[in-house]
Amino acid sequence: GIQVEQSPPDLILQEGANSTLRCNFSDSVNNLQWFHQNPWGQLINLFYIPSGTKQNGRLSATTVATERYSLLYISSSQTTDSGVYFCAVEPPSNDYKLSFGAGTTVTVRA
């Protein structure tokens, strides 16, 4: 099956810092989503971005499908940004089944 690798596995930031999270995938994809898992376990949808660039407030994401990677940018980080960020992809199988990376654990310190 498709392989999804996220880096770095852990990231510690000072409040106000910027950061970039990376997601590499081993095959073409129909769907790519970024999620934030909060301390209570809830998975929050950040971006649906199989290609191109999107921005939502302090977060933005870029997917370069031809090179099989996606980047999530966090600017001016806040303590509420702490949690685990997951990249998930769906290969072109028409089944809408997502394969998840192992996640990047982000800790933002005040």
Partner 1 sequence: SQTIHQWPATLVQPVGSPLSLECTVEGTSNPNLYWYRQAAGRGLQLLFYSVGIGQISSEVPQNLSASRPQDRQFILSSKKLLLSDSGFYLCAWTHLPGQGGYEQYFGPGTRLTVT
Q: Which residues bind partner 1 (CB under 8 A)?
A: 30-31, 33, 35, 40-43, 45, 48, 86, 88, 90, 94-103
Instruction: Tell me how far, at minimum, the Cβ of 3 lies from partner 1, in Å.
Output: 12
Residue 36: closest CA among 95, 2, 82, 67? 82
Tell the smallest beta-carbon distance from residue 90 to partner 1 (Å): 8
CB of 60 to partner 1, least distance (A): 17
